[in-house]
Amino acid sequence: GQQLNQSPQSMFIQEGEDVSMNCTSSSIFNTWLWYKQDPGEGPVLLIALYKAGELTSNGRLTAQFGITRKDSFLNISASIPSDVGIYFCAGHPGGANAGKSTFGDGTTLTVKP
């Protein structure tokens, strides 16, 4: 089946630093999504990308849909303590499997004040 490789697995950064994480796949996806999960909560959708090459921002977050449709990147600028959490990428194939997103294993972000 489809698999996503999300990296890095974890990051420890200083408040104010920028963060980059990415997701790669051996398969093509028609949609890429990025979620954030806080402790004890469910994942919350941050950004959805629907077009290859698309670059979308949500506040300090910027995500890109790779031109090959096999990867996506998430950047966080000027990190703050509340950015702490687990960030998941998800790829959605569309077509007959329209309901099935495949999730990466997550990037755990720790921000030191």
Partner 1 sequence: DARVTQTPRHKVTEMGQEVTMRCQPILGHNTVFWYRQTMMQGLELLAYFRNRAPLDDSGMPKDRFSAEMPDATLATLKIQPSEPRDSAVYFCASGQGSPEAFFGQGTRLTVV
Q: Is 113 in the site for partner 1 (CB under 8 A)?
A: no
Pattern 51-90, partner 1, x by CB under 8 A:
-------------------------------------x-x
Dihedral (C-alpha) 63, 71, 41, 57: value to the nearest 10 degrees? 10
Q: Is 28 in the site for partner 1 (CB under 8 A)?
A: no
- Give the integer Cα–Cα distance in Å for 35 and 47: 7
Q: Considering the complex, what minimum distance in angstroms separates the CB of residue 34 from partner 1?
A: 11
The number of CA neighbours under 13 Å toward the Cβ of 108 is: 3
| Complex with partner 1: residue 16 or 53, whichever CB lies closer | 53
Q: Which position has the token pair 């966080």?
A: 76
**Sign of CA pseudo-dihedral 75, 38, 101, 27:** positive
Give the footprint of partner 1 on this chain (CB under 8 A): 31, 33, 35, 40-45, 48, 88, 90, 92, 94, 98-101, 103-106
